[in-house]
Amino acid sequence: MISVCFTSCSKEPPKHEDLDFSQVDIAEFTETDKETDYVIITVADYGQIVIRLFPDVAPITVKNFKKLVSEKFYDGLIFHRVIEGFMIQGGGYTEKMTQKQSTAIKGEFSSNGVENNLRHIPGVISMARTSVKDSATSQFFIMHKESPHLDGEYAAFGYTVYGIDVVNKIAEVQTNSSDRPTTNVVITSIRFAERAE
């Protein structure tokens, strides 16, 4: 069983140091039609990644992500930018590198006036954006290694509770000079998930 521990039961957003990451990689989850704070990212030929979302930390970001998941927006898109020792990024392009459009949202991070205590350590999921702070749309990235220079500059909104080995495998793929995998890494689907009984 996986546990996520907090130092208190208050309604305050969890601080990163209060999270217990000691039992990742051992949970079993199943897909569900119900909206939950967990999603399963199924990646063709690689496996599944389960993410826990934090609506208390980044409510706008999580609401937008859940909307896209419910619309099956991510099905068939790719991880188009992979940098080993940094992160894997996807959720915006098809296999033919056609960009899929969605609406921009407010960036929920401290340099944009929003408190967000999640740090960019391995397994954390965060929103990609341009140099414009309120430009995040659908693209996300999952950290491969700790990158403190992103803290306070990008909207972290969840973390990997199962499948960090999948993240690691994707991070090691061969890429071209633009950091795009030479063989497409396809997101088969992203679905809501619940703990298997």
Number of domains observed in the structure of the chain: 1
Which parts of the chain have pLDDT scores under 70? 1-27, 196-197
Residue 130 falls within a domain, yes or no?
Answer: yes
Torsion of CA 134, 135, 137, 140, to 10 degrees: -90
Model pTM score: 0.88
Sort 183 into a burial class: Cβ within 10 Å, 0-12 / 13-18 / 19+. Answer: exposed
Supply the pLDDT for residue 27.
58
DSSP lists the bridge partners of residue 126 as 141, 156
Residue 174 falls within a domain, yes or no?
Answer: yes
Q: What secondary structure, in 3-state letters, does 34-66 show?
A: CCCCEEEEEECCCEEEEEEECCCCCHHHHHHHH
Residue 11 falls within a domain, yes or no?
Answer: no
Domain that holds residue 172: 30-195
Supply the pLDDT for residue 194.
87
Domain of 74: which CATH number?
Answer: 2.40.100.10
- Tokens of residue 192, six digits: 């809501």
Distance (Å, rounded) from C-alpha 46 to C-alpha 93?
Answer: 19
Taking a C-beta distance cutoff of 8 angstroms, is the pair 91, 85 a contact? no
Q: What is the pLDDT of residues 104-122, one digit of tens each?
A: 999 999 999 999 999 999 9
